[in-house]
Amino acid sequence: MTDFKNRDFRGKFKESDPILEFQIPREEIQGHRGSKGLIAIFGVMMTIDSTFMQRCLDLAYNGLGATAPNPMVGAVIVHDGKIIGEGFHTGLGKHHAEVEAVNQVLDQSILPASTLYVNLEPCNHHGKTPPCTDLIFEKGIRKVVIGQYDSNQVAGGGVERLRKNGIEVITGVLEQECRFLNRRFNTFHEKKRPYLILKWAQTTDGFVDNLRIQEDQQKPSWITDEACRRLVHKWRSEEQAIMAGSATILHDNPQLNVRAWVGKNPVRIVIDRAARITGNKEQLSTGQKGDSFSPLKIVDGTAETIIYTCQENANHQNVKFIQISPIEPVWPQVLADLYNRNIQSVLIEGGPTLLSTLIEAGLFDEARVFIGPGWFGSGVKAPDFPFSPIEEEKIGNSRLLIFKAGELRSLIV
Ligand SMILES: NC(=O)c1ccc[n+]([C@@H]2O[C@H](COP(=O)([O-])OP(=O)(O)OC[C@H]3O[C@@H](n4cnc5c(N)ncnc54)[C@H](OP(=O)(O)O)[C@@H]3O)[C@@H](O)[C@H]2O)c1
């Protein structure tokens, strides 16, 4: 069976394991004078700093799906070439990685002679927890190595404050990898919109569905298989929100939640300007058109749901109707609202009309496209997508193509 553990199609840092002991041989450090030294690990030449930063990234990755809207952060504390404490941010409101790492150090007296490695600039503000810069001062740590500056202006300024207080700070170690790991967080703060991942499955001859009429009872035809479905549920657990078009909701009645994986359900989002989805009695009750078509699952209240519509509609438990203007373009309104709601990433699962509007507007950061083995001959066409994948691999009975846009293409290592 395909093993999806820790798979994010994210370049080289794929594995996270719980080991604590990670020691660079003393002669490597002495021979190469600390952070400028080169060592060979798994046949790859890395600086000592980048080796420990890689450990930070591996730790940070454990927070995928749990930390948003906070970033994924890992930290290690190194004394005399040996990791003496490490940790990662496990979730919103929980300890920051630096605190976890410091708390693990048994002999706190050696902290002033140790180096803190962390993939993101230590925070410099009072949020749900105190600033990590204060912790560094309090513990007397004299040297800090970071991967990337904080793209959230509110929490930034940590490097400047540390330097002003006489602490040696090295920046930009494995910066590309650090930015790639926190691409959702960076996109959200730098572009003031969520990170957008397009996803669909198409047949070998380019169709996403057979032609079906809404009145018939036919369910959508399977294009991929169980292995692909499981991977999609894992992806859902990693993002803050999921979106599908109104026609898909009404034709397919999807649940848009996490069932074939363990994790949080994303916030469900639909654009439905004509207010065909109301959550009225008929849509909420059974007995309309057979099991798969009623009640309408998107309004069942089992997960937080947002429906953008041009009509006024009363909210139900867990289902919010947000009014948008019928004369303004949809995406600026919707993306600005999602930004204000602190939603940092959205997995957009089709249909092709919805996907095409985003593709035409250049509004996507990644696309994940399954090509199933079947041929439909005719049906609902997949969106036009004239780009080249940067990765391709076999998942179950299908091929998975991964596309990345803009800066992300060059961040792949
Ligand atoms: N194989 C797959 O991966 C897959 C996935 C999903 C769906 N499907 C299939 O796709 C079919 C449905 O797809 P579809 O293309 O007919 O419809 P759709 O994409 O599901 O629904 C159209 C969506 O596009 C929105 N839209 C229209 N114009 C827009 C604009 N200018 N800006 C922003 N949003 C806009 C609509 O909003 P309004 O309602 O406000 O107009 C609606 O939410 C079904 O057969 C389904 O089974 C296949």
pLDDT for 364-382, tens place per residue?
999 999 999 999 999 999 9
51 has pLDDT over 70: yes
d(C-alpha 206, C-alpha 204), whole Å: 6
Q: Which pLDDT score, from 0 to 100, does residue 39 have? A: 58
Longest dimension (CA), the chain: 76
Structure tokens at 412: 């792949």
Banded model confidence at residue 31, pLDDT cuts 50, 70, 90: very low
Q: Which pLDDT score, from 0 to 100, does residue 19 have? A: 32
**Cβ neighbours of 225 (radius 10 Å):** 15
d(C-alpha 96, C-alpha 74), whole Å: 9
Q: Is 247 in the pocket of ligand 1 (CB under 6 A)?
A: yes
| Residue pLDDT, tens place only, 220-278 | 789 999 999 999 999 999 999 999 999 999 989 999 999 999 999 999 999 999 999 99
CA of 244 to the centre of ligand 1 (A): 7
CA of 352 to the centre of ligand 1 (A): 6
Question: Which residues does 260 contact at the CB level (< 8 Å), separation at least 6?
Answer: 226, 229, 230, 232, 233, 234
Q: Is 358 in the pocket of ligand 1 (CB under 6 A)?
A: no
d(C-alpha 307, C-alpha 50), whole Å: 45
Q: Is 371 in the pocket of ligand 1 (CB under 6 A)?
A: no
How much of the chain exceeds pLDDT 90, in percent?
76
Query: Which one of 202, 209, 210 would you pick to mutate in the ligand 1 pocket, going by the greatest count of ligand atoms within 8 A of its CB?
Result: 209
Does 295 sit behind a cis peptide bond, omega within 30 degrees of 0 on the bond before it?
Answer: yes
366 is catalytic: no
User: 202: helix, coil or strand?
Assistant: strand
CA of 271 to the centre of ligand 1 (A): 9
Query: Which one of 243, 271, 310 would you pick to mutate in the ligand 1 pocket, going by the greatest count of ligand atoms within 8 A of its CB?
Result: 271
Q: Which pLDDT score, from 0 to 100, does residue 264 have? A: 94
Q: Which one is catalytic: 15, 21, 28, 98?
A: 98
Q: Where are the beta strands (DSSP E) in 101-218?
A: 115-120, 143-148, 168-170, 195-202, 207-209
pTM of the model: 0.90
Backbone angles phi, psi at 212, to 5 degrees: -130, 150
